[in-house]
Amino acid sequence: MLVLVHGLPRATGMGRQAAGLLPELAEHLASESGWTVATGTLSGVGGSTGTFSASQWRRDLAAVIARIDQDGGRISLAGFGFGGALALAATADDERVRGVATFAAPAHLDTWCGPAVPFRQWILAAGVVGDEKDLLGADELRADVMAVDPLGAVASIPPRRLLIGHGTDDLEVPSSDARDLLSAADGRAELRLIQGAGHQLRADPRMVATLLGWLDRHR
């Protein structure tokens, strides 16, 4: 079983669409690979109720993993953007997850977030907030994201399988972050740099081919 984990968009109002492409991608991956592929819509995204926080999204993903585990079989995760960092943290926390693939995942969340107050304003504008009174204060919200710690998480994942994918022309998360994740994993990961690709990799056919190849090698 593969679980796809969406990211956290920066564009105004895009929170309601952050998971929109994943069902189509899941169907394609399932058809081509023979894997069962699931998607989840985390709190505040799409039709999901609630409000974003990193802790809440970690609980959401843990609930998805627990539900899938009831059906048996091996579980792997594939996350995009911040969803990749989240997938690393979930894998580090849960031995039931046997592999993880990340695409355009930030390694340095302090840089990715930026200052606390603008970050909170970004979250509000993105549309992942059900009720503003439920949204954490600026400093607490940023600290909660920082606790995900992708570099610390990725170090604990090998020898479980690990794929790190990134576009060389990503303007939101530099491709050097992928190399930093690889270094933190002591080199025990597959690194795939997609030439000329930007941050939005979910519909890039080269990303799809990379992920399908990884799935095929780890049946």
Domain ranges for the chain: 2-217
The sign of the torsion formed by the CA atoms of 111, 114, 115, 116 equals negative
Q: pTM of the predicted model, to two decimals?
A: 0.94
Q: Which residue has the tokens 């930030």?
A: 106
The reported pLDDT for the residue numbered 193 is: 96
d(CA 179, CA 160): 18
More confident residue, 48 or 157: 157
Examine the pLDDT at 96 and tell me if it is beyond 90.
Answer: yes
CATH (residue range 2-217): 3.40.50.1820
Mean per-residue pLDDT over the chain, rounded: 93
Higher-pLDDT residue of 132 and 9 is 132
